[in-house]
Amino acid sequence: MSLKNTLQSPYSQWMEDDAPESDVVISSRARLARSLAGYPFPHRLSPEQAEQVIQAVSLAVRNAEFRTRFGDVELVRMTELSPVDRWILVEKHLISPGFLKNTGSSFEYKGLVLTPDEQLSIMVNEEDHLRIQCLFPGLQLEAAARTADEADSLLEKTLDFAFSDRIGYLTACPTNVGTGLRASVMVHLPGLVLLGQVKEVLTTVSRLGLTVRGLFGEGTDAVGNLFQVSNQVTLGHRESEITGNLASVTRQVIEQERSARQQLVRQMPVVMRDRVGRALGILKHAHTLGVEEAMRLISDVRLGVMAGLLKGPPSRVLLELMVITRPSYLVRVSGRELSPPEWDELRATLVRELVNAHSGEHPGAQDGRDTGRRPEEKKKI
Amino acid sequence: MSLKNTLQSPYSQWMEDDAPESDVVISSRARLARSLAGYPFPHRLSPEQAEQVIQAVSLAVRNAEFRTRFGDVELVRMTELSPVDRWILVEKHLISPGFLKNTGSSFEYKGLVLTPDEQLSIMVNEEDHLRIQCLFPGLQLEAAARTADEADSLLEKTLDFAFSDRIGYLTACPTNVGTGLRASVMVHLPGLVLLGQVKEVLTTVSRLGLTVRGLFGEGTDAVGNLFQVSNQVTLGHRESEITGNLASVTRQVIEQERSARQQLVRQMPVVMRDRVGRALGILKHAHTLGVEEAMRLISDVRLGVMAGLLKGPPSRVLLELMVITRPSYLVRVSGRELSPPEWDELRATLVRELVNAHSGEHPGAQDGRDTGRRPEEKKKI
C-alpha cells in the first residue's frame, strides 16, 4: 500500500481482528526517539541543519539492507501533503497530532517515512530528529518493539545517533532519555465503563508507573471507550522491562474488561442485547450522525460483537468506521470543506454504507436513497 | 377466517394498504345502534330477557339470506372466550372496550357475531341490544355504511327493531337516536403532530360537529399519532348526511396532513430521513420495547414509508405491529401472564421478527438469537 493508498483508505493493517487479545487490545505501539549526533534538537535546528537531517534520513531509508527488510520506502515531506491528508495520517494513528503542530522543527523540514504495510513509520524532525514507530494489531508489544529495533539498527548503519554510555540515547525531552522507547497499547474498555469501574482500574494502572490517555494521545478524551496506556519512564529501564511491564499490566486490564463484559451479559442480557442491537440499528439507518454519537454507537456494537451478543460487522470494519467518522476523512471524501450539518450527513451516509455492506443487507435496500458507491470499491483503491 | 383465526393473527382485513387515501386514513367504520321492540334497554334487562335477545340475534344471523350475503356466521358468547381473547378483539378494533366493561347487560348475556372477513361485527347486549359495525380499510365511509345497512335490512327480516316514525330508531343513549349511525375514521397524523398543528386542526374538526378521540375510543390517548374522528349527533340527520359530512371533513384533514408531510420533507429532508430511518433501525434491532415507544417508532416508520423517505415494511405490516405491541396479544403469544420486563422483551422479539421478515433481512442474521418461529407462519394460521 503506497502513501496514496494509505490516505484514501480508512483501513490500516493495525485494525486486523485476528490478532492476540484483540477483543480488548486494539493495537500495540513501540516508538523509539533518536537524535542525530552533532545536531541541536529539532526545535533549535537552523533551516540548513534541519534540511541536512531530512536528507540524512532520506538517504538512510534508501539503504539496500533497510529496503530489503522494509520495502521501497521514500521520505515524504509534510509540505507535499495537503492539510487534510496530514490529518488523515493522525486519524489513522500513523503520525502524532503534535507532528502537525508546534513540536520540533518548522513545518517545511518535517518528513515522514511510511512502509507500504503501515507497520513502520518514521517521523523526521518531530520533537526528536527521528521517531521510529511500529504499530501492530492486538497485544503484540514485543513484536512491535523488535521491529522498531530492527529499523533502528538498520538506520544506524547510515546514521550516527546521539548516545551516552552512562544514560543511553539522548532525546529532546528528558522523559525519553535512555532506551528512547515508549511502548503503548490502545484498549477498548466498554465493559468497565458501563460498570462504572474504569476510573478505578485506570487509577491503579497509573500507580504502576503507566500513563493513561485518550484516543489521540495526551489531553484528549477517551471517545469510543478507547484508552491508550503507555510507559512513563524510559531512563534506567531495559526495553524488555518496559514492554514486559506494560504487557503484564495490560493483561490484568484485559482480564478485568473480560470479566466486566461477562458480568454485564450474565446480569442483564436483555438490556445488553437491546443496547448493542439498537446501536447497530442506528448505525445502519441514521441519516445524520455526530462524531461523538457515532463513536459511542461503534463502541457499543464492538462490545456486542466481542461479547457474542450480536452478529455485526467484524472489528476491523468497526475500527475503519472510527476513522471514517473523523472530520478529515470526511473532508477528503467530499473534496471540500463542509458545514457541521453536512459533516453529520456525510458521516451517516458513509457509516450506513460500510455497516450495511458488512451485515448482509444491501445499503440501498432500506432507504430511499443510494449514493451509487460501494464501500467495498473504495476499500480496494 | 374463523373467530379462532381472528384471535390468533394480528392481521385484519381493515389493515389492507391499497385502500383509498390509505396514506392518511387507516380505516372507516359505520356502526348502527338497534334495539329490539318490546325489551328494556340492555342495562335494564332481566336475565331471561337478556337470554331472549341473545337467542333472537343468534337465530337472525342464521337466516338464509343473511348467510348468503355474509357467510356462515355464528353468535359467540363472550363467556366462551378467554379474557385475553376478548381483549384481542378490542385491540383489533372489532369490539368496543366498553363491551368488556360495564355497558349494557351483564357479561353472561353478551354475544358477538363476526364475519370471516372481519368486515362486519355485531355486538349483542352492549349499550344497545345490537351494535352492527362495519370496518373497511382506508376512506370508505359510504361502503361501510352501505354494508351496515345491508346487514340491518337482512336482520330486520327476522328481528323487530324499536322505531319511532317521529324520531327514528330508538337507542339506549339519546345521542344515538335517529339513524343510530355513528360513522368514524381512524386517521394517522404524524405530519401535523410533528409540525405542532394537530391541535389546531382537530379543534376545527370539533367545531364542525365531529368528535376526536384516541386510538381506543373515548378517553384514550392518541398513541402512535392515530386519531378517531366521528359524528356526534345522529338525530335529525340522514345517513348520507352523516357519512358525507364526515368524509368531507376527513378530506380536508387528509390534505392538511399531506401538506404537513410535504413541508417536513421539503424543509428538513435529512432530519426526517434520519428520524424515520432510526425508528426502523430500532424496531429491527431492539431487544426491549415499551408499548409507547413501539407505537411512536411504528408511527415514524409509517410516516417514512408513506412520504417516500424509506423502503420499510408496508402499512398493513405496521398496523399488524400496532396490534402485536398491545398487552393482550403478547399474553396470547406467551400463553401466560408476563412481568413488565418480559412484556417489553417479547414485544421487541415479535416486532423484530415481523419487521425483519418484511425488510429483506433475515431476523436471525443480525442478532445472536432466534426464536425459531417465522412471522410468516404465524400469519397464515
Average pLDDT of the segment spanning A274-278: 97
- Per the model's pLDDT, the better-predicted residue between A12 and A242 turns out to be A242
Chain B interface mutation, best of A366, A369, A371, highest count of B Cβ atoms under 10 Å? A366
- Residue A155 sits in the same domain as residue A272: no
- Answer whether residue A365 shows pLDDT above 50: no
> How far apart, in Å, are the Cα atoms of B82 and each of A61, B4, B77, B216, B325?
83, 12, 11, 20, 19
- Spatial contact of A91 and A83, defined as CB atoms under 8 Å apart: no
Contact in structure between B221 and B292 (CB atoms under 8 Å): no
Q: Considering the domain boundaries, does residue A19 fall inside one?
A: yes
Q: Do B164 and B278 fall within a single domain?
A: no
Give Cα A168 distance to the centre of its chain: 27
The mean predicted confidence, pLDDT, of chain A is 87
The answer to whether residue B250 is domain-embedded is no
Segment A35-53, tens digit of pLDDT: 999 999 988 889 999 999 9
| Minimal-distance CA residue of chain B relative to A359 | B366
A373 is a domain residue: no
Helix ranges restricted to H, B131-268: 141-156, 190-194, 198-207, 239-267
Q: CA-to-CA distance for B192 and B189, rounded, in angstroms?
A: 6
* Smallest Cα distance from B301 to chain A, Å: 11
A178 shares a domain with A60:
yes
Of the candidates B258, B260, B139, the residue with the CA atom closest to the CA atom of residue B193: B260
> Which parts of A286-339 fold into alpha helices (H)?
291-306, 315-324, 327-334
- B35 and B153 assigned to the same domain: yes
Of B277, B288, B359, the CB nearest to A274: B288
Do B101 and B218 touch, CB atoms closer than 8 A? Answer: no
Please report, for the domain that includes residue A176, its CATH number: 3.30.590.10
* Residue B127 is assigned to a structural domain of this protein: yes
Whether A72 and A113 have beta carbons less than 8 Å apart is answered as no
Return the closest-CA partner of residue B325 out of B221, B220, B223: B223
Burial status of residue B267 (CB atoms within 10 A of its CB: 0-12, 13-18, 19 or more):
exposed
Last residue of a domain, one of A184, A210, A241: A184
Of B372, B340, B226, B359, the C-alpha closest to B282 is B359
Chain B residue numbers with beta carbons less than 8 Å from the beta carbon of A274 are 286-288, 348
3-state secondary structure of B226: strand
Mean pLDDT value of segment A146-174? 92
Mark whether B152 and B298 lie in a shared domain: no
**Same domain for B175 and B27:** yes
Residues B164 and B55 in one domain: yes
CB contact under 8 A, B286 and A288: no
Quick check: is B223 in a domain?
no
Give residue B325's pLDDT.
86
Terminal-to-terminal C-alpha distance of chain B: 9
What ipTM does this complex have?
0.79
Q: Read out DSSP for B90-147? A: HHTTSS-GGGGTTSSS-GGG-EEEE-TTSSEEEEESSSSSEEEEEEEESS-HHHHHHH
Q: What order of strands is seen across the sheet that includes strand B210-213?
A: B75-77, B111-114, B120-124, B130-137, B25-34, B181-188, B226-231, B210-213
- Where among B151, B169, B184 does a domain terminate? B184
Q: What is the pLDDT of residue B173?
A: 82
Task: Give yes or no: residues B168 and B285 share one domain.
Answer: no
- Does B308 contact chain A (CB < 8 Å)? yes
> Which of A318, A341, A331 is closest to A90 using CA atoms?
A331
Tell me which amino acid residue B50 is.
Answer: A
- Residue after which a domain boundary falls, among A162, A184, A206: A184
Domain count, chain A: 2
The whole domain housing A86 covers 3-184
What pLDDT score was predicted for residue B243?
A: 93
Q: Are residues A17 and A147 in the same domain?
A: yes
To test the contact with chain A by mutation, choose from B261, B287, B343, B351 the residue with the greatest count of A C-beta atoms within 10 A, namely: B287
Neighbours of A141 (CB within 10 A): 24
Is B93 known to sit in a ligand binding site?
yes
B7 φ, ψ to 5°? -80, -25
pLDDT of residue A171: 87
Which pLDDT band, with edges at 50, 70 and 90, does A381 fall under?
very low
Residues A245 and A286: beta-carbon distance below 8 Å: no
Residue ranges in chain B modelled with pLDDT below 70: 1, 102-103, 215-222, 234, 360-381
Structural domain contains residue B34? yes
Q: What is the pLDDT of residues B165-218, one digit of tens each?
A: 888 888 888 878 888 999 999 999 999 999 999 989 988 998 888 998 876 555
What gap in Å lies between CA B324 and CA B346, rounded to an integer?
10
Radius of gyration of chain B from Cα atoms?
Answer: 21
Query: Which 3 state secondary structure label does DSSP give A321?
Result: helix
CB contact under 8 A, A309 and B368: yes
Residue B251, burial from CB neighbour count under 10 angstroms (0-12, 13-18, 19+) = middle
Alpha carbon distance A258, A192 (integer Å):
9
Give the Cα separation of A183 and A187 in Å (integer): 13
Indicate if B163 and B292 belong to the same structural domain: no
Q: What is the pLDDT of residue A189?
A: 95
Q: Which residue of B has its CA nearest to A270?
A: B287
What gap in Å lies between CA A122 and CA A95, rounded to an integer? 8
Nearest in space to B124 (alpha carbons), one of B154, B155, B149: B155
| Contact status, residue A319 vs residue A250, Cβ threshold 8 Å | no
The residue-averaged pLDDT of A12-23 equals 86
**CB–CB contact B277 A270 (8 Å):** no
Q: Are residues B162 and B275 in the same domain?
A: no
Residues from chain A contacting residue B274 (CB–CB below 8 Å): 286-288, 348
Question: Given CB atoms, is B270 within the 8 Å cutoff of chain A?
Answer: yes
Mean local confidence (pLDDT), A237-248: 91
- Chain A contact set for B285 (CB, 8 A): 277-278, 280-281, 284
Is A281 a known ligand-binding residue?
Answer: no
Question: CA separation (Å) from B255 to A93, A137, B203, B248, B265?
Answer: 55, 58, 16, 11, 15
In a domain? residue A233: no
Query: Which of helix, strand or coil describes residue A122?
Result: strand
8 A C-beta contact, residue A29 and residue A185:
yes
Q: Residue B194: what pLDDT?
A: 93
Which residue type occupies B172? A
Q: Quick one: average pLDDT of A286-311?
A: 94
Cβ-defined contact of A282 to B284 (cutoff 8 Å): no
C-alpha cell of residue B11? 392481521
* pLDDT band at residue A100 under the 50/70/90 scheme: confident
- A50 and A175 part of one domain: yes
| B29 has binding-site annotation | yes
Taking residues A122-132, report their average pLDDT: 94
User: 3-class DSSP state for residue A93?
Assistant: coil
Decide if B33 is inside a domain.
yes
Place A275 in a pLDDT band, splitting at 50, 70 and 90: very high
B363 touches chain A (CB under 8 A): no
Name residues whose C-beta falls within 8 Å of residue B289's C-beta, 6 or more positions apart in sequence: B283, B297, B325, B344, B347, B348, B351
Quick check: A298 and A325 in contact, CB under 8 A? yes
| Cβ B156 vs Cβ B134: under 8 Å | no
